[in-house]
């Protein structure tokens, strides 16, 4: 990172002299910790031209400002390319390391429980409609979860077909999704703030003098939207179990009661949906190189198709 670019990017904030510039690991966008002469630090996050706009992240983060949780707070957003030749945001610096980096820590289960409790807090934030976020609010706000999920499901099947998924498999999955829809989707408790990417790589933690871990930060709002809380919980469990096998029971313990008449069926239904989305996305970015390439995701989708 060019030092002058950093100086120019931070200039509107008047933060004083800049010390070290440290690249931070994790994530798909370049992120740097900027140490200031005052002893404080901020974070500079760069956004690629084809990535989510920084204003969307900022809108999502603002929804959490009244919660007593350590979250990213946006100090400056600039996608004009006038001051520096990249789109960027400057945020507060949250201490700690990712929970993923602490997976072998003897107290890691407590972080998973704290993650569940944190997700419960996020789900107390009611949203006026279902929909994706942009810099100004909810895009194409949808009144019901049934209408919202109908659109998401149609998109998922279309993308899977585009990425070469087997036609017979898609037909079987379509039957399963349609058959389970009425028992799960209309019973939403309402649209809430959904992080949609809560897992050990997006949770920060610190070790105290007693060796216990404390959650110290929630980061990365690129996927955030207004959605059903069980849909979001299922995504959290799905991603976390992949990164940290065995974390599910601890997250659920921290989260508490699930507000749905059939919680297990709802989690299973939404997990199937998330597997479909993840498969076509990983195909799109060539992590799964060909439609018939072996993958845990496809194994699970085939298992589901055969078991119903």
Question: Where are the domain boundaries for CATH 3.30.200.20 in the chain?
Answer: 3-92
> Which pLDDT does position 52 carry in this prediction?
59
Look-up: residue for tokens 């956004």? 47
Give CA separation, 195 vs 158, 171, 231, 233, 236, in Å.
24, 30, 10, 9, 9
Average pLDDT over residues 42-52: 80
d(CA 156, CA 299): 18
Give the residue-averaged pLDDT of 232-257: 97
The whole-angstrom separation of Cα 302 and Cα 299 is 5
Given a cut of 70, is residue 27 above it in pLDDT? no
Spell out the alpha helix ranges (H) of 11-85.
Answer: 54-62
pLDDT, residue 47, reads 86
Is the per-residue pLDDT at 55 higher than 90?
Answer: no
Greatest Cα pair distance, the chain, in angstroms, is: 63
Q: Quick one: average pLDDT of 258-284?
A: 98
CA–CA gap between residue 297 and residue 283 (Å, rounded):
11
What is the pLDDT confidence band of residue 273, given thresholds at 50, 70 and 90? very high
**CATH superfamily placement of domain 97-307:** Aminoglycoside phosphotransferase (APH), C-terminal lobe (3.90.1200.10)
Q: Any bridge partners for residue 34, and if so which? A: 21, 42
Three-state secondary-structure class, residue 183: helix
- pLDDT classification of 60: cutoffs 50, 70, 90: very high
Q: Percent of the chain scored above 90 by pLDDT?
A: 87
Residue 68, pLDDT > 90, answer: no
Residue 51, pLDDT above cutoff 70: no
Categorize the per-residue pLDDT at 50 as very low, low, confident or very high, splitting at 50, 70 and 90.
Answer: low
Angle at which helix 167-184 crosses helix 263-284, to 10 degrees, equals 140
CATH number of 3-92: 3.30.200.20
Say what the pLDDT of residue 301 is: 97
Domain with CATH 3.90.1200.10 in the chain: 97-307
Residue with tokens 């419960």: 120
Rounded to an integer, the average pLDDT of 270-297 is: 96
Indicate the average pLDDT of the chain: 94
């Amino acid at each position: 990172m060019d030092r002058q670019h950093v100086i120019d990017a931070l200039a509107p904030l008047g933060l004083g002299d800049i010390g070290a510039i440290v690249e931070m690991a994790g994530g798909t966008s370049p992120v740097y910790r900027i140490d200031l002469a005052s002893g404080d630090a901020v974070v500079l996050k760069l956004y690629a031209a084809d990535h989510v706009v920084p204003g969307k992240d900022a809108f999502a983060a603002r929804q959490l400002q009244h919660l007593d949780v350590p979250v990213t707070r946006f100090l400056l957003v600039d996608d004009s390319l006038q001051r520096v030749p990249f789109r960027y945001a400057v945020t507060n610096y949250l201490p700690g390391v990712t929970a993923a980096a602490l997976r072998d820590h003897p107290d890691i289960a407590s972080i998973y429980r704290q993650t569940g409790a944190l997700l419960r807090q996020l789900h107390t934030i009611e949203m006026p409609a279902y929909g994706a976020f942009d810099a100004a609010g909810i895009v194409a706000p949808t009144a019901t979860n049934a209408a919202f999920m109908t659109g998401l499901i149609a998109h998922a099947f279309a993308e899977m077909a585009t990425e070469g998924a087997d036609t017979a498999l898609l037909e079987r999955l379509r039957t399963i999704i349609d058959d389970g829809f009425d028992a799960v989707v209309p019973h939403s408790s309402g649209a809430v703030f959904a992080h949609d990417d809560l897992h050990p790589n997006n949770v920060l933690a610190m070790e105290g003098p007693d060796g216990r871990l404390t959650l110290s930060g929630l980061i990365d709002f690129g996927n955030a939207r207004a959605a059903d809380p069980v849909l979001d919980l299922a995504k959290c469990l799905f991603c976390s179990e992949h990164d940290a096998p065995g974390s599910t029971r601890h997250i659920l313990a921290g989260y508490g009661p699930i507000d749905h008449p059939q919680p297990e069926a709802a989690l299973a239904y939404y997990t199937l949906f998330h597997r479909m989305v993840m498969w076509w996305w990983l195909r799109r970015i060539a992590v799964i190189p060909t439609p018939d390439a072996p993958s845990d995701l496809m194994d699970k989708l085939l298992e589901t198709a055969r078991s119903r």
